[in-house]
Amino acid sequence: MAPRIDVITLFPEAFRSVLESSIVGRALREARVEVVLTNLRDFGPDKRGTVDDKPFGGGPGMVLMCDPMFRCVEAVKALDARPGPVILLTPQGERLTQGRVRDMAGHERLILVCGHYEGFDERIRTLADLELSIGDFILTGGELPAMVVIDAVVRLIPGVLGAEDGAEEESFSAGLLEYPQYTRPREFRGLTVPEVLLSGNHAEIARWRAGQALERTRRRRADLLDRASAAEAAVDE
């Protein structure tokens, strides 16, 4: 049975282009993954599908209410017997990393909950197994972060990428940025392809790529090297 990703959202139509295009679209057409969208408004207490209200204590904006969200999450869980983490997409969550993506890709099921307006009633957080953020900035809602999670997770599902090792050689897969890539022509406006890549010597090419990945990471994202060193130190203790 294909892995399943459920998305709880106020705007299911926003996902159409992502789910119909590129690698994600192909994976869905080939039944390698299933993505099910549930409209939170269907669980509102009135005909208007009201799911938000003014915050106690005053303040700007509206807050998503407990009752519709609890009933929605419970109903979505009942749609499939397979367990899976409930994940809130929120700026207050853990920063998304490739390591976390690999962890999520190992589950048979994920339930993604998109926030909106001024946020969730705090009690909604008790439904979640994990809170995720895609960065230290504010978006209108959790739909775009959910799309990011879907794209990142789906490409790690076996058989989705054409090359068996494609996902393993990309940026962050080994904790480093990806090495430089080139294709035809060999020379363009005075810019040439490194000779080692044309040598046919696979051992030398592998060494060059490893060195380039390390150097590029050192120049552009030294924090990744610091993080890796800290992790190694913790293991050695």
Give all domains of the chain, ordered by start, each with its CATH number. Answer: 4-154 (3.40.1280.10), 171-236 (1.10.1270.20)
Pairing label, strands 109-114, 86-95: parallel
Are 93 and 119 contacting, i.e. CB atoms less than 8 angstroms apart?
no
DSSP the chain: ---EEEEEES-GGGGHHHHHSHHHHHHHHTTS-EEEEEEGGGG-SSTT---EEPPTT--SS-EE-HHHHHHHHHHHHHT-SS---EEEEEEEEEEP-HHHHHHHHTSSEEEEEE-BTT-B-GGGGGG-SEEEESSSS--SBSHHHHHHHHHHHHTTSTTSSSSTTTGGGSTTTTSSPPPP---S-SEETTEE--GGGGS--HHHHHHHHHHHHHHHHHHH-HHHHHHHHHHHHHHH-
Phi, psi of 89 (to 5 degrees): -90, 110
**Terminus-to-terminus CA distance in the chain, angstroms?**
41
Spatial distance between the Cα atoms of 171 and 68, rounded to a whole number of angstroms:
39
- pLDDT on residue 226: 79
Spatial distance between the Cα atoms of 95 and 78, rounded to a whole number of angstroms:
29
| pLDDT, mean over the chain | 92
Are 91 and 149 contacting, i.e. CB atoms less than 8 angstroms apart?
no
- pLDDT on residue 169: 53
- pLDDT on residue 165: 46
C-alpha distance from residue 199 to each of 137, 181, 194 (Å): 45, 15, 9
- Per-residue model confidence as pLDDT tens digits over 4-50: 999 999 999 999 999 999 999 999 999 999 999 999 999 999 999 99
Reported as a pLDDT band with limits 50, 70 and 90, residue 229 is low
Reported as a pLDDT band with limits 50, 70 and 90, residue 163 is low
